[in-house]
């Protein structure tokens, strides 16, 4: 099984690396991180679409059939994603662009996908975790691109931040808790698969604390800016009223 899957993973890794090199050539005036994030954005959109199709249409349903044998489509998507995570983890380590938490997330993702591929089962819930993990990724990359181009402090930036926080909280934390519960109570998945699920959910909570702190600081900043602007408008109206008298 492993020998049969290795070519798929290597092809995936080569494909993502080739895409990154192409982006670097097309964006010579930009940083390497710009091109890497374009690859990440592309993978995010692709993996969301594929994992959503598997979960909602092709099946089986992850909340009722955890530990099920992998379908051919699940195997292809997991190999595609495994190649991406290997590429991105290598990039992050080489350029030292991410902290321990993100490296832990990538490492757990790689181990989880390998585990599902080698076992030949649990691809159903791993695919669901992939969907929940990637659904906020395009928004995260959009936020970075907005910052780089000087358009972050705008209405668009506020909408992107709001959607990111809402989706992360609702899907990765809310729906993720339900998925983890179904995984743990089901007798089908292996015990170490369940441990991996707990570890991934714990990482999501670590991210969540950082996101909530950011959201709170931004909300307070926006509130004080609104109060200041409102006070200035009242002062201007008051001054204008005095001048008419």
- From residue 6, give the alpha-carbon distance in Å to each of 83, 130, 146: 10, 20, 37
- From residue 132, give the alpha-carbon distance in Å to each of 49, 170, 233: 12, 10, 44
With residues binned 3-state (H G I as helix, E B as strand, rest as coil), the percentages for the chain, rounded to 5, are 85, 0, 15
Number of domains comprising the chain: 1
Residue 69 main-chain phi, psi, to 5 deg: -60, 145
Residue 176: closest CA among 131, 110, 132, 124: 132
Evaluate if pTM is beyond 0.85: yes
Question: How many beta carbons lie within 10 A of that of residue 107, not counting itself?
Answer: 14
What string of pLDDT tens digits covers the 245 residues of the chain?
556 788 899 999 999 999 999 999 999 999 999 999 999 999 999 999 999 999 999 889 999 999 999 999 999 999 999 999 999 999 999 999 888 989 999 999 999 999 999 999 999 999 999 999 999 999 999 999 999 999 988 889 889 999 999 999 999 999 999 999 999 999 999 999 999 999 999 999 999 998 888 888 877 887 667 677 767 767 766 665 555 55
Domain span holding position 143: 2-241
Cα–Cα distance, 82 to 96 (Å, whole number): 20
Cα–Cα distance, 89 to 164 (Å, whole number): 23
Residue 177 main-chain phi, psi, to 5 deg: -65, -40
């Amino acid at each position: 099984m492993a020998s049969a899957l290795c070519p798929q993973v290597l092809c995936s890794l080569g494909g993502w690396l080739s895409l990154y090199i192409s982006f670097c050539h097309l964006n010579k005036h930009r940083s390497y991180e710009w091109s890497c994030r374009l690859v990440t954005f592309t993978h995010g959109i692709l993996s969301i679409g594929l994992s959503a199709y598997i979960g909602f249409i092709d099946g089986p349903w992850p909340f009722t059939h955890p530990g099920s044998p992998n379908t051919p489509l699940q195997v292809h998507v997991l190999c595609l994603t495994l190649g991406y995570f290997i590429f991105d983890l290598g990039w992050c380590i080489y350029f030292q662009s991410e902290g321990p938490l993100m490296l832990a997330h990538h490492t757990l993702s790689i181990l989880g996908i390998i585990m599902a591929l080698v076992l030949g089962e649990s691809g159903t819930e791993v695919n669901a975790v992939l969907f929940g993990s990637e659904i906020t990724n395009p928004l995260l990359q959009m936020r970075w691109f907005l910052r780089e181009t000087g358009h972050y402090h705008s209405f668009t930036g506020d909408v992107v931040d709001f959607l990111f926080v809402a989706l992360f909280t609702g899907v990765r934390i809310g729906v993720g808790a339900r998925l983890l519960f179904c995984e743990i109570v089901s007798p089908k998945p292996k015990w170490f698969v369940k441990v991996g699920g707990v570890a991934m959910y714990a990482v999501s909570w670590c991210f969540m604390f950082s996101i909530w702190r950011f959201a709170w600081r931004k909300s307070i900043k926006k509130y004080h800016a609104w109060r200041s602007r409102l006070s200035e408008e009242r002062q201007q109206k008051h001054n204008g009223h005095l001048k008419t008298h």
